[in-house]
Structure 1
Amino acid sequence: MTLSVYLAGEIHTDWREQITGACAGLDIAFSGPVTDHAASDDCGVAILGAEADKFWHDHKGAKLNAVRTRRAIAGADVVVVRFGEQYKQWNAAFDAGFAAALGKSLIVLHGPDHAHALKEVDAAALAVAATPAQVAEVLRYVMTGELPR
């Protein structure tokens, strides 16, 4: 049976590609948000019309992105949420909370510098990983029951 995994969070590094590459050959269907930052920001005004006020510009985009995100998280078996080093990803925290509220299996990915700030998010997770390789090993274990070699 195919495992559905939603990869949420930070969009500035290649962590998604690291996980999907390391999981090649496993029956996993990966999905995620729009990672083209400009497209994600501008989708609302591109589809629904321009806004003079940046607040309403962002508001439209956030709502359209929420349609994608809510559907994807609701349909996922596992949600992986990455918190990057450079930016405060409020959207990632929201995605983690939404996934937890839906009872989704949650894997959180972040470095040690974020451990204190994310302690409540980490407490809701079934696994807290420090590297994309660890996430891939968790998913491999879930799919095969095998320990890393």
Structure 2
Amino acid sequence: MLNVYLSGEIHTDWRDQIENGAADLDVHFTAPVTDHGASDDCGVAILGGEDSKFWHDHKGAKLNAIRTRQAIEEADIVVVRFGDKYKQWNAAFDAGYAAALGTSLIILQPEEHDHALKEVDAAALAVARTPEQVVHILRYVLEGKLPK
């Protein structure tokens, strides 16, 4: 079984597209918490409130990092999606962490991000434009089959 961590933007259904496209493959997917409110507020919901937004966010980031680090460390492949609408600073961090661990890295991004992400792309083993291309990569890795 291949363990794949799906990191990055949470505002589109790209994860569902990959999971559905790879449903017939021996792949286990993990991902960050994609409920934006839960992700932002987990620290104060579990550990108690904060007067400062900085410390509110700090608590949440640390709890999310527990999940993220474990998932990246257990992954055979990390797919990092950089979307159109927001700058995903956390996704860049995840890509760097995976690269530092020597984990295979696939970047999923639109062409207009090529210049801004050139260093991230240089660390990746593949830069895909669509979720379908990521599925084709996974199929090739597992089965050695090219798309029809």
Paired AA for residue 112 in structure 1: E
2:19 aligned counterpart, secondary structure? helix
Q: Structure 2 matches for 1:113-124, cutoff 5 A?
A: 113-124=112-123
TM-score scaled by structure 2? 0.99
Instruction: Note the C-alpha offset of 1:25.
Output: 1.0
Q: How many residues align?
A: 148
1:32 aligns with 2:31: yes
- Equivalent residue, structure 1, for 2:48: 49
| 1:71 equivalent in alignment to 2:74 | no
Structure-1 separation of matches of 2:18 and 2:2: 14
1:65-101 CA distances to partner (integer Å, 9 max, x unpaired)? 0000000000000000000001010000000000000
Amino acid across the alignment from 1:34: V
Counterpart residue number, 1:109:
108
In the TM superposition, 1:13-24 aligns within 5 A as 13-24=12-23
**In the aligned structure 2, how far is the partner of 1:146 from the partner of 1:15?**
22
Structure 2 gap segments, 5+ residues each? none
Partner of 1:140: 139
Moved segments of 4+, more than 3 Å: none
Q: List runs of 5+ in structure 1 lacking aligned partners.
A: none
User: What letter corresponds to residue 106 of structure 2 in structure 1?
Assistant: I
